[in-house]
Structure 1
Amino acid sequence: MAPVLSIEGITKTFTDGESICRTLDGISFEVEENEIVCIMGPSGCGKSTLLRIINDLEHADTGTIREASKDKTGKPTTAMVFQDHALFPWLTVYDNIVYGLRLSVQKLSEEEIAKRAEGLLSLTHLDSFAKAYPHQLSGGMKQRASVARALAIKPSVLLMDEPFSALDPFTRRELEDEVMRIREDLRTTILLVTHNPTEAIYLADRIIVLSARPAVVAGILYVDIPHPREMANPEFLKIRETIIRMVRGKEGLRE
């Protein structure tokens, strides 16, 4: 079976006057269907830049992004959940979720849009907050709404850029479990950037570790631990130590 997503030889250089910063240096890997893949690496190595390139928000200098599923315009069907929830403050939770659907080339009827939105509100436990505005929600609820909005277009790959980094540990763990449940319920393929090795091991089937800038793939770790995963599991701790050693070339990881 062909991979859902193939990243082939991606390079990216930023210039600022006479200063040249080579960020990504030939990044290549694949993501399989219904897989959760985490990207890790030192701060500033280009993890978020890579995700933005995959989502067509940034252009690579060289390389190719190949995706098995495309929309009617031929564009890849990825959707992004950002570090900040990025909800429109003047729209209700419901209208935030359906915003992209109403602009989509799928041209769904309002009845179809409502049905999809209701399913996502239920999936993310926001049924009672459909008419609420972002300022009326907790941080965790805002991120749930952001996830629901991204899932509304039924992306072939859900991209997540440190979506839980600003949350307290308890809410963070709750939403990590939500990600696992969404993957099981919708068979969603997920590519997630995180600085947190514990989060990566808790969620991922594979972990892509990038080097310091200019980033290359320093290694790929497979996490063959049954779910639900216990952090005290010796194999869990072993993988965590391996990640930290791989990343600590120039700086350590923050929890």
Structure 2
Amino acid sequence: MNYENIISTSQNAITTITINRPSKLNALNKATIEELHDAFKTANNDASVKVIIITGVGEKAFVAGADISEFANFNVENGGKLAAKGQELLFDFVQNLSTPVIAAVNGFALGGGLELAMAAHFRIASDNAKMGLPEVSLGVIPGYGGTQRLPQLIGKGRAMEMIMTAGMIDANTAKDYGLVNHVVSQEELIPLAEKIASKIMRNSSVAISKAITAVNANYVDGINGYKTEIEQFGNCFGTEDFKEGTTAFLEKRKAEFPGK
């Protein structure tokens, strides 16, 4: 598929998806969300891809929010459909991918941008990054999972303050809050993401996908995360990766996981 709003490249088992709307500070519109869905789905279905990195083009913004012009005239019904469709196509979709997703946050990550970063499995940031959920300043609330994921990541009190004040935090504050794992210079951001990706790729992709399922289960109403962990742990014993991993350990050699 030829994309107009994003760039997707694959090298060394890593797919890097770059949102490419610099004139709009990489703001998310309907077309971009649909293209992102396709790019994530394509990468996740490619057995050769072991890690996905999501970032924004340029130095100013990861994603500076949603494209407000698209929904400024929406009514109640349209607003609800907008949130539901966006969560289904992109935000929940990314969170539940079996392939690890690293958000490399460069510059502004506001509104839908921060929500996209939070949907990734974890985040790193450049030292010029600014993050926030400013929706209440527009008379609306975060609609792409922000009211749920932000408290899960940084705690209810801090999330309430960020949402209610519509304020931004800098990268180091985000690290202190546990919102991002690492803060580096702009030049070091993608190399760090790739370095972490290379560490991930040394391990069983099958086991990692089952770990993602187990961790995510803790945040789903009505699901017993411990039971999911037990099930996924047991399922690992039927994989070729388990046989290779344990055999390699006993033979004191490096495992060569087949990814099955």
Both structures adopt the same fold (TM-score exceeding 0.5): no
TM-score (norm 1): 0.31
The answer to which structure has the higher helix fraction is 2
The answer to which structure has the higher strand fraction is 1
**Which structure ranks higher in relative contact order (CA pairs < 8 Å, sequence separation ≥ 6)?**
1
